[in-house]
Structure 1
Amino acid sequence: MNNKFDALKDDDSGDHDQDNCSPKDGEKEKHDEEEKDSNTTKRKAVVPGAGEHPLQYNYSFWYSRRTPGRPASTQSYEQNIKQIGSFASVEQFWRFYSHMIRPGDLTGHSDFHLFKEGIKPMWEDDANKSGGKWIIRLRKGLASRCWENLILAMLGEQFMVGEEICGAVVSVRFQEDIISIWNKTASDQATTARIRDTLRRVLNLPPNTIMEYKTHTDSIKAWEDFHGLVNASGGR
């Protein structure tokens, strides 16, 4: 699958407006009506174009950015995360990716998320709530390469764990960058071990690289404990 991605990397890279284009004036009313209908249920699913190479799952790119030190909440996080767009084929992926800024060039407290369509990159999402994530902390300068290798492995189904993979995140911070891959079932140790081993291979990590697995339940508890302390101390 990697060879297929590499061969198609520059294919139609200039034609990336499939999901981002504004409707023509004559079609605007029809577009608004369709958008309203889809929003009442869920976003209309994307499909591969004629002659394109379909992925096993559809995926969505998301982006979030916040000001460090500003009090956060689940509600403010959900409002701050923005969906960039969805894709269903190798070609559609490259159209998005070739025009996106690389993680190493992001500034501030920013995150890119790539998740299966229909799964929000939030701990509380039904697909995520019983799961967890493998976390790798990177020194500055490595995020762009590691992110690309990670998402190509994910899209190419290299993890071989069925439907367990939910998505991946790259988090740009001031002193370090963090990448993580999320799965559905934290209690399935055989699956989490296979994800860890595949992650080591596709990222070509040194043997002494520290990898941490954290359940989303633990993440939620740590977040609540921290914000409870902040609020109790008048830090709101």
Structure 2
Amino acid sequence: MDLTSEKKELEINNNNSDNSIDQLSLDAANKEAEERQARDLKAGLHPLKHKFVLWYTRRTPGVRSQASYEDNIKKIVDFSTVEGFWVCYCHLARPSSLPSPTDLHLFKDGIRPLWEDSANCNGGKWIIRFKKVVSGRFWEDLVLALVGDQLDYGDNICGAVLSIRFSEDILSVWNRNASDHQAVMGLRDSIKRHLKLPHSYVMEYKPHDASLRDKSSYRNTWLRG
């Protein structure tokens, strides 16, 4: 066997090994989810299809933080049942009362709200900009659709973010695969339908690798201090 053939064989074996590890992780996660749902049902609760984690990011304007962006993402709460969701949601501050700039991140358990996370790195996000007076209502509708697994291509969705800014608020829905055109466009149509978006609202899709290169983005501005 020549060196080229040997290298190709090693690459194939490594890829197979990586796929096996990914499958084992997925199987373990599915088993854990099934066991969790069984416990919830036994307790008389109504399990969600996915467990979710709510995070937030806050930066005081004019104050340089020594911590990284990732270190400033704080976990608020997690929930896996309908009852758990409402207990959490009813005690959260409304978006209109939160200072600018603040980000709220609602993601499936096991996925960090970071571009580099393995679930996000090949994906992107649908972006919608709202006037501040209406953003809270649209955010609530989006949260209910996400938690209730009502959006099409739900398995391709990683989470959603509400970015509260000085002049406007921004909603974004993150998905796993930016190159899957059918899933990307299907998700767009589903978001429009569930949020009942007026035709005047424009939706923009941005792959995460483009966000990494965008020097004007909030996170990259943070990293530069």
How high is the TM-score relative to the length of structure 2? 0.76
Asked if 2 retains the 8 angstrom alpha-carbon contact of 1:114 and 1:169, the reply is yes
Are the equivalent residues in 2 in contact too, given 1:61–1:86 (CA < 8 A)?
A: yes
The CA distance in 2 between the partners of 1:171 and 1:225, in whole Å, is 12
Q: Mark the runs of 5 or more structure 1 residues left unpaired by the alignment.
A: 1-43
Contact 1:136 1:211 in 2 (8 A): yes
Residue 76 of structure 1: CA displacement? 1.2
* 1:138 correspondence with 2:130: yes
The sequence identity of aligned pairs, in percent, is: 47
Larger Rg: 2
1:192 maps to which of 174, 184, 190: 184
d(CA) in 1 for partners of 2:74, 2:119:
19
Structure-2 residue corresponding to 1:147: 139
Q: Which has the higher helix share?
A: 2
- Deviation readout 1:52-105 (Å, 9 max, x if unpaired): 1111111000011012355679x6111111001111111101111000001121
* Amino acid corresponding to residue 44 of structure 2 in structure 1: G
- AA partner of residue 59 (structure 1): F
Count of paired positions:
189
CA positional deviation for 1:108: 2.0
In the other structure, the counterpart of 1:213 is: 205
Give yes or no for contact 2:124–2:205 (8 Å, CA) kept in 1.
Answer: yes
Q: C-alpha distance in 1, partners of 2:121/2:65?
A: 19
Alignment of 1:109-128 (within 5 A): 109-128=101-120
Written as runs of structure 1 = structure 2, the 5 A alignment for 1:31-180 is: 47=36, 49=40, 50-68=43-61, 76-180=68-172
In structure 2, the residue corresponding to 1:135 is in which secondary structure?
strand
AA paired with 1:98?
A: C
Q: Secondary structure at the match of 1:56?
A: strand
* Structure 2, gaps ≥5 residues long: 1-31
Q: Report deviation, 1:207.
A: 1.1
1:2-51 CA distances to partner (integer Å, 9 max, x unpaired)? xxxxxxxxxxxxxxxxxxxxxxxxxxxxxxxxxxxxxxxxxx98946411
Change (3 A) 1:225 1:213: closer
Q: CA RMSD in A?
A: 2.8
Report SS of the residue matched to 2:196.
coil
1:130-162 Cα distance to aligned partner (Å, 9 max, x none):
000000000111121111100111111122214
Q: Return the TM-score normalized by structure 1.
A: 0.73
The CA distance in 2 between the partners of 1:227 and 1:160, in whole Å, is: 29
Asked whether the equivalents of residues 47 and 87 of structure 1 are also in contact (C-alpha less than 8 Å), the reply is no
1:19-34, aligned counterparts within 5 Å? none
Quick one: structure 1 residues 173 and 47, their matched pair in 2 at CA, closer, same or farther if it must change by over 3 Å? same
Alpha-carbon distance in structure 1 between the residues aligned to 2:187 and 2:93: 27
**Kept in 2: contact 1:104–1:142 (CA 8 A):** no
- Structure 1 residue 224 displacement after superposition: 8.6
- Match for residue 5 of structure 1? none
